[in-house]
Amino acid sequence: MATLPIARPRLARAQPGPRPRTLVSSSQLNLPRGKIIYRIVLTLVVVIFTLVFIGPLYFLFSDGLKSTTEAVQVPPTLIPAHVHPSTYVSAWSRVGLGRLLFNTLYYAFGALFFQLIFDVTAAYSLSKLRPAGGKLIFALMLATLMIPSTVLLVPQYITVANLPILHLNLIGSPAAIWLPSVANAFNIFLLKRFFDSVPQELLHAAAIDGASPLRTLRSVVLPISRPILAVVSIFALVAVWKDFLWPLLVEYGYNPSRETLNVGIYEAANTTPQNLVLAASAMAAVPTVIFFLVFQRNILSGLIAGSLKG
Amino acid sequence: MVAIARKADPAPHLGRSRAAASLGRKARRNVSAHGFLIGAVLCFFFFSWYPMYREVIMSFQKTQLGVTSWAGWANYIRIFHDPTFWVAWRNTLEFTVLALIVGYAVPFFVAILLNELRHAKGYLRCLVYLPVMLPPTSALLLFAYFYDPNYGLFNDILHTLHLPTSQWVQSPGTTIPSMAMISVVIAATWMNMGGATLIYLAALQNIPGELYEAAELDGAGLVKKIRHITIPQTRLILSMLLMLQIVATMQMFVEAFILTNGGAGVNNNTLSVVNLIYTYAFALSGASNYDSASALGVVLMLVLAIFSGTYLWLTRDRDHG
């Protein structure tokens, strides 16, 4: 992917050209002593970081292969003495991972769908159509960034259980996860800032050709907004995938069969042998690890673009 | 926070058309513009704006046998008299301070280190961020397994090194800092430090190299360069992240909840404020107390608003600077 237009120019510039000057000068590093020290530091960093960050994952995956007694054996074995791939199979059926995975994917992609529809149209409207009162609405949306969602846990739960005016109860319905995810000021902010950078002339040209605002959005604005749509989509999926407390309340609390991966494995952990818990945790981690390896470029650049906003 | 470069009115050439037609067009444009907005606005209304209002209202109400009436400050007085309220705040502050000491300083120095390396950059960046992507349950159940006082890996390592072993998260102590809370902080830092590290890394790349060159001419060593150039040059990011991390860590819930199977720990020594809200509202069997939970929510909201307000003020400053 090309450099994200949402990243500020100063950020984007860091990549090409000669290596930017950092704390230690290149001339210092090119001295024989510098070279040796650099080699030592590099090796240490790579080894320590691999141990610290991959090491636990090694145990996550390998301890799931142990037998139930070996998993709780004292002292713990570093390499499974007897490999039991069947642990993964029984963990899958015992924890009901198929159902958990389906639920989580259903909630995640539903949330993504609603966020793309409502947040993109809203940001487009605020950026390009500029309705009366748009500035106020945008300010009110941004104000919600100041109130972290966990603080609103109880009133949000009560509201979802009985929506004002409509008197709908969404508890237990996937909409209890999908619709609140739309109220994401950060999405609106990122999208609106991107749309602001789309030249007005493009929209005029579309309008002269008789395109409606919806048509303009679909055929002109969206095709050039792919980078930001990727960022928003990735974060939408990851947010649902990682959420714990909200799905615990609105889905599991209603009916345990609607729980997500996080909640399901947590609930099963108390009554399941340790090796099965680890095997289930490992399998739950696989999709996110693959997802990360595939989209790491977008994820890392999106993270930086989002945090260095201003 | 948001510098909106207002462009000229998109249709200045309409000035000559008849006033009535222009008004009609404007009205139609507004209708379709609001049509595009309505979905998001409704979601914000139902799931953000209204709950905010509702939380404040509920904190001053009491509900008995289905009848709701005004309670004045009674809910607040009740939670202030609840000893677990103070325990939860003490724990949350303890977690925040510990998480900042570890989770704020470590990513900064890791970022400085990574920024100096000419090799394996992509690999190391991925490594640091990988745990952030894991489902929290997977990561935390793994740590609970490592922490197990009997068969856990951590005690085995300590044992091999002939060091005293520990009860880790199951430590009963309530002194500050308690071993139980330190264990929660270690797991939380491992899970979350990737984000901060990468943000620092991006900030470090914005420091003009000439500054370091100038400092070298003045004979500054490594430590001096970090103190007089790196830190001042990234001060804004450092303070922004400080506010963000305070807000994030004060909402600690899932880490202790999964590590200690319910979050309270031994003698409530890992009970956090959010966990107490959850306990008031949902976990006390048969006696869900939304009013107390709302009052506690308002208190937490006010405390966090101080920090997120500071954050907004800092980012606003950056726009003009």
User: A230 to chain B, minimum CA–CA distance in Å?
Assistant: 16
What is the pLDDT at residue B318? Answer: 52
User: Do A153 and A253 fall within a single domain?
Assistant: yes
User: Do A130 and A264 fall within a single domain?
Assistant: yes
User: Do A123 and A183 fall within a single domain?
Assistant: yes
pLDDT band at A306 (very low <50, low <70, confident <90, very high): low
What is the pLDDT at residue A101? Answer: 93
pLDDT band at B228 (very low <50, low <70, confident <90, very high): confident
Q: What's the domain count of chain A? A: 2
Most confident region among A112-116, A139-143, B112-116, B210-214 by mean pLDDT: A112-116
CB atoms within 10 A of CB B320: 6
Task: Name chain A contacts of B148, Cβ cutoff 8 Å.
Answer: 72
Averaged over B23-43, what is the pLDDT?
A: 84
Out of B55, B141, B203, name the one closest to residue A265 (CB): B141
Worst-scoring range by mean pLDDT, A8-22, B13-27, B49-63?
A: A8-22
Residue that wins the pLDDT comparison between A82 and B53: B53
Task: Name chain B contacts of A97, Cβ cutoff 8 Å.
Answer: none
What is the pLDDT at residue B18? Answer: 63
Asked if the model's pLDDT at residue A76 lies above 70, the reply is yes
User: B267 to chain A, minimum CA–CA distance in Å?
Assistant: 20
Averaged over B230-239, what is the pLDDT?
A: 84
User: A34 to chain B, minimum CA–CA distance in Å?
Assistant: 12
User: B176 to chain A, minimum CA–CA distance in Å?
Assistant: 25
What ipTM describes this predicted complex?
0.86
Mark yes or no for CB contact B33/A157 under 8 Å: no
Mark yes or no for CB contact A156/B47 under 8 Å: yes
What is the pLDDT at residue A15? Answer: 46
Q: Is B69 helix (H, G, I), strand (E, B) or coil?
A: strand
Out of B297, B318, B319, name the one closest to residue A153 (CB): B297
Identify whether the C-beta of residue A292 lies closer than 8 Å to the C-beta of residue A237.
no
Asked if the model's pLDDT at residue B51 lies above 90, the reply is yes
Q: Please state, in angstroms and rounded to a whole number, the distance separating the CA atoms of residues B176 and B275.
A: 19
Out of A130, A163, A281, name the one closest to residue B33 (CB): A130
Averaged over A193-197, what is the pLDDT?
A: 89
User: A203 to chain B, minimum CA–CA distance in Å?
Assistant: 9
Cα B297 to the center of its chain, rounded Å: 16
User: Do A171 and A67 fall within a single domain?
Assistant: no
Tokens of A166: 């409509």
User: Do A56 and A156 fall within a single domain?
Assistant: no
User: Do A232 and A151 fall within a single domain?
Assistant: yes
User: B72 to chain A, minimum CA–CA distance in Å?
Assistant: 18
What is the pLDDT at residue B12? Answer: 47
User: Do A73 and A212 fall within a single domain?
Assistant: no
Worst-scoring range by mean pLDDT, A177-186, A202-211, B3-12?
A: B3-12
Return the residue in A19, A58, A154, A244 with the most chain B beta carbons within 10 A, the one to mutate for interface testing: A154
Asked if the model's pLDDT at residue A214 lies above 50, the reply is yes
pLDDT band at B25 (very low <50, low <70, confident <90, very high): confident
| pLDDT-above-70 percentage for chain B | 91
**Which residue in chain B has the smallest CA separation from A124?**
B36
| pLDDT, tens digit, 9 for 90 and up, residues B58-97 | 999 888 777 788 888 888 998 899 888 999 999 999 999 9
| pLDDT, tens digit, 9 for 90 and up, residues A215-254 | 888 888 899 888 889 888 988 998 999 999 999 998 888 8
| DSSP, res B61 | E
**Which residue in chain A has the smallest CA separation from B30?**
A131
pLDDT band at B9 (very low <50, low <70, confident <90, very high): very low
Asked if the model's pLDDT at residue B319 lies above 80, the reply is no
Q: Which of residues 159-218 of B touch A (CB under 8 A)?
A: 159-160, 190, 195, 198-199, 202-210, 212-213, 216
Asked if the model's pLDDT at residue A70 lies above 80, the reply is yes
User: B106 to chain A, minimum CA–CA distance in Å?
Assistant: 13
Averaged over A270-297, what is the pLDDT?
A: 90
Write out the DSSP string of B100-129. Answer: HHHHHHHHHHHHHHHHH-SSSHHHHHHHHH
- Which phi and psi angles does A170 have, rounded to 5°? -95, -5
Identify whether A222 is part of a domain.
yes
User: A249 to chain B, minimum CA–CA distance in Å?
Assistant: 8
Out of B7, B130, B248, name the one closest to residue A292 (CB): B130
Averaged over A18-46, what is the pLDDT?
A: 81
Q: What is the CATH number of the domain that holds A193?
A: 1.10.3720.10
| pLDDT-above-70 percentage for chain A | 92
| pLDDT, tens digit, 9 for 90 and up, residues B293-312 | 999 999 999 998 888 888 77
pLDDT band at A266 (very low <50, low <70, confident <90, very high): very high
Q: Which of residues 220-239 of B touch A (CB under 8 A)?
A: 222, 225-226, 230, 237
**Which residue in chain A has the smallest CA separation from B282?**
A249
Residue that wins the pLDDT comparison between B244 and A51: A51
User: Do A215 and A157 fall within a single domain?
Assistant: yes
User: Do A52 and A141 fall within a single domain?
Assistant: no
What is the pLDDT at residue A178? Answer: 95
Asked if the model's pLDDT at residue B6 lies above 60, the reply is no
Mark yes or no for CB contact B1/A244 under 8 Å: no
Mark yes or no for CB contact B226/A122 under 8 Å: no
Could you tell me the domains of chain B? Answer: 15-59 (no CATH), 77-320 (1.10.3720.10)
Q: Is B62 helix (H, G, I), strand (E, B) or coil?
A: strand
Identify whether A118 is part of a domain.
yes
Asked if the model's pLDDT at residue B266 lies above 70, the reply is yes
Q: Is B262 on the interface with A (CB under 8 A)?
A: no
Write out the DSSP string of A19-71. Answer: PPP-SS-HHHHHSHHHHHHHHHHHHHHHHHHIIIIIHHHHHHHHGGGS-HHHH
Identify whether A129 is part of a domain.
yes
Q: What mean pLDDT is reported for chain A?
A: 85
Last residue of a domain, one of A76, A91, A106: A91
What is the pLDDT at residue A240? Answer: 92
Task: Name chain B contacts of A14, Cβ cutoff 8 Å.
Answer: 202, 205-206
Q: What mean pLDDT is reported for chain B?
A: 83
Mark yes or no for CB contact B137/A282 under 8 Å: no
**Placement of tokens 């209603």 in the chain:** A254
| pLDDT, tens digit, 9 for 90 and up, residues B209-223 | 888 888 888 877 788
Asked if the model's pLDDT at residue B14 lies above 80, the reply is no
Task: Name chain B contacts of A21, Cβ cutoff 8 Å.
Answer: 208-210, 212-213
Task: Name chain B contacts of A44, Cβ cutoff 8 Å.
Answer: none
Last residue of a domain, one of A35, A67, A91: A91
Averaged over B150-166, what is the pLDDT?
A: 86
pLDDT band at B320 (very low <50, low <70, confident <90, very high): very low
Q: Is B176 helix (H, G, I), strand (E, B) or coil?
A: coil
Domain that includes residue A37, residue range: 27-91
Identify whether A291 is part of a domain.
no
What is the pLDDT at residue A310? Answer: 35
What is the pLDDT at residue A52? Answer: 92
